[in-house]
Amino acid sequence: MKFLRNLLASILGFFISLFLFFMFFALVGSLMSSSEDIEVKSNSIIELDLSASVKDFAPKDDNPLSEILDYTDEKVGLNAIINAIENAQVDPNILGISIKTSQVNAGVAQTQAIRDKLSDFKESGKFIFAYNDFYDQKNYYLSSVADSLFVNPVGSIDFKGLSTEILYYKDFEDKYGVKMEVIRHGKYKSAVEPYLTNTMSESNREQTTSFLQSIWSEMLSDISVNRNISEDKLNNIADNLQGRNATSSKNNSLVDGIIYQDEYVQKLKNASSEKIHMISLQDYIASGKGRRNVSVSKDKIAVIYAQGEIMYGEGNEDVIGQGIINKAIKKAKKDASVKAVVLRVNSPGGSALASELIWRELELLKKEKPLVVSMGNVAASGGYYISCNADKVFAEPTTITGSIGVFGMLPNMEKLASRIGINAEQVSTNNNPEYSLFEPMDPRFYEVTKEGVEDIYDTFLTRVSNGRKLTKEAVDAVAQGRVWTGKEAVNIGLVDALGNLDDAIIAAANLADVSAYRIRNYPNYTHDFKDSFSFNPFLKASKEKLLKETLGAETYRLYTTINEFQKWKGIQVRMPYLFEIK
């Protein structure tokens, strides 16, 4: 028996040693290969593929085993994309850009920012071509900036206008005896509306229609300029689905030609009398072209990226926590070489407490250095809370912002418990109002919680009023949880100007009175080495990717809704995160 035990231990030890031996050489090989420079050859054409997730800031994962085991999700930073296109504009080795992507995995504001930079690229005299088997709406919006736009003979363009869908749960709650107890302030605070009714309120329909039309008008305006089609005609094309096949798309000037993939490749080859070389956007960035031209100045402008939902705690690359963000703010404030700070916000909001803690740290920073905010796809509710006190606020025209409102929400299973024969009894030392998952909400508990919601809403109004130099009455008139686009927000005083991240950086430099500067990105995301071994090394896809593939897009969306709700702590300042513009 002892012999067998020793034999099994020896076999197990052998395989563990073999695995670690393999991992060591794989790691060394990876590090050696990653150190090799990517050559950007003359006569190169950049292939722009945005099917990987586009994030405002995508720092490289320093987990040494992630890349080897294909563990990390594909992602690319918006800042790197913008810098790469800007560098390609003056790079003598770059002939032009080919837009060929199965999908644009970016928000509308991010897509618009990339499109605007591509428009600047064309001013160099270099070409942009675009080709796809079929285009969804966002892909077509991006690709329409091209000099020449092509589609497969059996392809189509899904050009139909914007829409969104919101799921309502009231009948489900009544049927199964599980409901959400809601306390809110703001008639437009539609984040909780699906739990209160089974139909969309007129106020919610009003705000949703308003921001969809605002975003659509931006897209139409841009497409109209590049395709030389009037906006009225574009709306008629959308109404009648006149991009539903390749021939109709060509007849309505949505594309310039109907060709196959091999014919498109030949057109690229014809762009030069010499042999062309294709280089992916990611490789071009990896070659060092995703960075700004480095200034020799010691002065810096700090860019702090706040991306994701706001949750109380440390936070990470995908979640805004007061821990990581406040550390970054303090570092930027302490660094004498940092002359101004730009806060790049891409968040639908979240925890009211975490938002207030971040606001406070920004308030302390602002007393010492200029603070400018740049809004990305969304800077709403808690995202607006941490933005409103800046010296200057920039938003993209299609940014979703505002949503100045507050709510609290608790699950209640009293009816379900009664149906299945569960009775809960409570014992307390005092007579204060308590909340139980299995009992009807105590009216006293409701009043106490309502008072908390009202206090935070009043604080929210005060923060916006002081930051934006508006009366509380004026803020309340455009608040109530209503969502606005960046374009609309300028007109009502919630945003100072329309512009991108570069515009915000320039404004920050001007406020600091510096003309030469470098960019310093925050926060720093680090991993402990032990984290390298905290996952299954044979799992080649991340949990998120695996779930998406298994459940499908719509089911995964519902799964994330339920999963995220479980993480909510305390009173919330957030917008409806289920808005998906299609």
Give tens-digit pLDDT for 97-133. Answer: 999 998 999 999 999 999 999 999 999 999 999 999 9
Does residue 411 have a pLDDT over 90?
Answer: no
State the catalytic residues: 189, 381
- CA–CA dist 546, 55 (Å, integer): 20
Which range is least confidently modeled, 74-78, 157-161, 251-255?
74-78
What region does 283 belong to: left with phi over 0, alpha with psi -120 to 50, or beta? Answer: alpha
The confidence band for 318, taking pLDDT boundaries of 50, 70 and 90, is confident
Does residue 473 have a pLDDT over 60?
Answer: yes
Which range is least confidently modeled, 82-91, 206-215, 548-557?
548-557
Q: What is the pLDDT of residue 8?
A: 59
Helix then strand then coil, in percent of the chain rounded to 5, is 45, 20, 40
Q: What is the pLDDT of residue 451?
A: 85
% of the chain residues with pLDDT over 90: 58
SS3 track for 486-535? HHHHHHCCCCCEECCHHHHHHHHHHHHCCCCCEEEEECCCCCCHHHHHCC
Q: What is the pLDDT of residue 69?
A: 46
Average pLDDT in the chain: 85
Higher-confidence residue of 571 and 118: namely: 118
Q: What is the pLDDT of residue 538?
A: 42
Q: Compute φ and ψ for 131, nearest 5 degrees.
A: -145, 145
Give tens-digit pLDDT for 135-154. Answer: 999 999 999 999 999 999 99
Q: What is the pLDDT of residue 204?
A: 86
The burial of 542, by beta-carbon neighbours within 10 Å (0-12 exposed, 13-18 middle, 19 or more buried), is given as: middle
State the pTM of this model: 0.84
Give tens-digit pLDDT for 512-524. Answer: 999 999 999 999 8
CB burial string 18-30: b at 16+ within 10 A, e below:
eeeeebeeeeeeb
In the chain, the domains with their CATH numbers are: 44-160+241-289 (3.90.226.10), 300-420+432-526+569-574 (3.90.226.10)
